[in-house]
Chain A
Amino acid sequence: MTLVRSCGSTLRFIGAYFVANLQAAMEYRVAFGVQILVMLGNDCLWLLFWWSYFQRFPLVNGWQQTDIVVIWAVSALAFGLGMAVCGNVPKMAQIVMTGGLDAYLGMPRNALLHLCIAATDPSAWGDVLFAIGAYLLLLHPGVLNLLIFLGSAVAGALIFISFMVIVGSLAFFLGNTDGLVQQLLNALITFSSYPMNLFTGGVRILLFTVLPAGFISFVPLQMLHHFTWPLLGALFGFTLLILLCAVGIFHLGLKRYESGNLLGMQN
């Protein structure tokens, strides 16, 4: 009963922050709208690249145009959901470095969760709109496929967030890792948006472990082609594992954190 109450309270907390962040972003309506449109246009441009590629080479290693639409849609939705709810995660290394963590440590809520959900990235809504639009308009899925798509995207969002928490926590051990975090995030996004069949051997192992792009786009694509319970189990098992790793590494790093005695207030 206590667990249910605690879960409910946490969800309400996330929901309240989500609404507050959205209201804050919508304060500048034009800027908010422009950012969404720009991201939508950016994602469409990448589809244009793939369209022009597949016009010349219709089949590559068994991959076709619809497969690219699926991996783009599922990874864009995963990233979009992650950044819409936990838009503060990419700034984690910087926050740790500047002593900005003090503001969260003094609060009664879980510091990691609080840090993650304290901001939203308005452009993430462009990714969400693109993903849902592209998937529905270009692939006309059935109800089951739609459910698999949405479920995979939620798991992908948790993988994205956990990955960023892990690399952001490196700041506790290595100092200024802001640049490294950005590059690793870019690498994860890049690998998630290319056909997995291009990579073999050690690189493929890397893409299912250290840089888990395979779980973000490839496993969902396989499930949408041919759903099996072991695949679903692997996806959710890995999501849980990386989530636990992220929480563990953050708390391990927190022991090394030294307050910056930074005076300020959360805005």
Chain B
Amino acid sequence: MDILLKERTQARPRGPKTRFRLACSKYLAILRVSAANNLAYILEVIFRALFLIVLIFVIGQLWKTTFAQHGSLLAGFTPNTMVWYLAAAEIIATSLPALTRTIDQEVRSGELAYLLGRPCSYVLYNYSRYLGERLVRLALNAVVAACVALIFVGPPQIGLVGVLAWPVMVFLAITIEFVCYFAIVLLAFWTENTQPFAFTFSRLELVLGGVLIPIEVFPQPLRGVAQILPFSTMLYGPSRILVRFNVGLFGQLLLQQVITLMVAGLILLVLYTLATRRVSINGG
């Protein structure tokens, strides 16, 4: 009895540093398990990456033809930088996991009630799970896309600073995507099905996010609208910085990413608070 009491009193007082370290190791463990799960089904990940070859080939072919007819420089892009831009944008666009479907199912089936009772934040638990899956896909996509672009237009004409800035922007971009999609899927508490909303968001992201055409090439007023919208921070921003680094633009896009993340995070927080109030857990 004494020993038990001693263990309990010893376990209780923990400093904020220790608590933070323990929380980090907890979420890192979830991330590792999620990554390992995806590596276990590597064939499926490879199949998805194969479609990337088709996408880069088709869109690259479109731009090669366009450059051949309309000059070798379009809005500052050369054929080489354009294909590498497309490859960089497609790496992010095609690595998005089925986040909304999973959480939508958890909400609908009531599994959420059990997950909420776990000693971890439901949002951070999903974020770790999402990151684990996404990082595996990103890595494989990057290898495939780089090979295709190399064969297509040769080595990239990009600077080292762009290569160093790219991971930072990609990390922020995929975090923004997580927050946006998570906020969308929380609508499952009020609506029949959230898949149409997620689908619409993904299509808007593809077209207005500059994955097929860099935003500079859009005609006005579409260009102005696309630059303001949050979609440009997810695909256009990181890809543009990788292939044509510019300090001013980097600062501007980074600021836009941070503001987007804060606004989206706030919306998510409000929705999450409202949604969890609607959860009723019955014993059994």
30 A-B interface contacts by CB (under 8 A): A31-B193, A31-B196, A34-B196, A37-B196, A38-B200, A42-B200, A45-B204, A45-B206, A45-B207, A46-B207, A48-B207, A49-B213, A52-B213, A52-B219, A53-B213, A56-B217, A57-B69, A60-B66, A180-B47, A182-B47, A183-B47, A183-B50, A186-B51, A190-B54, A191-B58, A194-B62, A198-B58, A198-B61, A198-B65, A199-B61
User: Interface readout for B216-227 with A: 1 if CB under 8 Å, 0 if not?
Assistant: 011100100000
Are A183 and B69 closer than 8 Å at their CB atoms?
no
In the complex, A57→B71 CA distance in Å?
11
Residue-by-residue, is A215-242 near B (CB-CB < 8 Å gives 1, otherwise 0)?
A: 0000000000000000000000000000
Q: Is A60's CB under 8 angstroms from B65's CB?
A: yes
Q: Which of A41, A59, A180 contacts B203 (CB 8 A)?
A: A41
| 1/0 contact string of B186-221 vs chain A (CB within 8 Å) | 000000110010011001101100001100011100
Contact assessment for A55 and B219 in the assembled complex, using a CB-CB cutoff below 8 Å: yes
Any chain A CB within 8 A of the CB of B43?
Answer: yes
Tell me whether B58 and A42 are in contact (CB under 8 A).
no
Q: How many angstroms between the C-alpha atoms of A35 and B198 in the bound complex?
A: 11
List which B54-69 residues lie within 8 A (CB) of chain A: 54-55, 58, 61-62, 65-66, 69
Which of A28, A57, A179, A194 is B66 in contact with, Cβ under 8 Å? A57
The CA-CA distance from A52 to B219 in the complex, in Å, is: 6
Interface size grouping (class) on chain A: 20 to 34
Which chain B positions have C-beta within 8 A of A42?
199-200, 203
A192 to B: closest C-beta gap in Å:
11
Q: How big is the B interface, by class?
A: 20 to 34
The main secondary structure of chain A at its interface with chain B is helix
Q: Flag if B69 contacts A60 (CB, 8 Å).
A: yes
Q: Does A30 reach chain B (CB closer than 8 Å)?
A: yes
Q: How far is the CB of B217 from chain A (nearest CB, A)?
A: 6
What sequence of 0s and 1s flags, for each residue 236-254 of chain A, a beta carbon within 8 Å of any chain B beta carbon? 0000000000000000000
User: What is the chain B residue whose CB lies nearest that of A49?
Assistant: B207
Q: Is A61 an interface residue, CB under 8 A from the partner?
A: yes
Q: Which residues of B contact A195 (CB under 8 A)?
A: 62
Q: Which residue of A lies closest to B198 (CB)?
A: A38
B48 at the interface (CB under 8 A from A): yes
| Cα of A190 to Cα of B55 in the assembled complex, Å | 8
Cβ–Cβ < 8 Å partners of B47 in chain A: 179-180, 182-183
- Identify the B interface with A (CB < 8 A): 43-44, 47-48, 50-51, 54-55, 58, 61-62, 65-66, 69-70, 192-193, 196, 199-200, 203-204, 206-207, 212-213, 217-219, 222
Residue of B at shortest CB range from A28? B192
- CB contacts (< 8 Å) of B66 on chain A: these are 57, 60
Is the Cβ of B65 less than 8 Å from the Cβ of A35?
no
Q: Which residues of B contact A179 (CB under 8 A)?
A: 43-44, 47-48
Known: A38-B196, A60-B65. A187 touches B207 (CB 8 A): no
List residues of A (173-199) whose CB comes within 8 Å of B's CBs: 179-180, 182-183, 186-187, 190-191, 194-195, 197-199
**In the complex the two chains form, what is the Cα distance from A20 to B22 in whole Å?**
56
Quick one: CB contact mask for A38-77 with B, threshold 8 Å, 1 for yes? 1001100110110011011101110000000000000000
Q: Whose C-beta in chain A lies nearest to the C-beta of B218?
A: A52
Docked-complex contact A187 and B192, CB < 8 angstroms: no
In the bound complex, residues from chain A placing their C-beta under 8 Å from that of B65 are: 60-61, 197-198
**B48: chain A residues within 8 A (beta carbon):** 179, 183
Report Cα–Cα, A60/B65, bound state, in Å: 7
Contacts of A34 in B (CB 8 A): 193, 196
Residue pair A194, B58 in contact (C-beta under 8 Å): yes
Distance between Cα atoms of A187 and B58 in the complex (Å): 10
Report the minimal beta-carbon distance from A2 to chain B, rounded to whole angstroms: 45
Task: List 7 additional A-B contacts (Cβ < 8 Å) besides A45-B204, A186-B54.
Answer: A52-B219, A55-B219, A61-B69, A179-B44, A179-B48, A194-B62, A197-B65
Shortest Cβ gap from A240 to chain B (Å): 27
Which residue from A38, A53, A180, A191 sits with its C-beta under 8 Å from B54? Answer: A191
Residues from chain B with a CB closer than 8 A to the CB of A183 are 47-48, 50-51
A182 to B213, CA, bound (A): 25
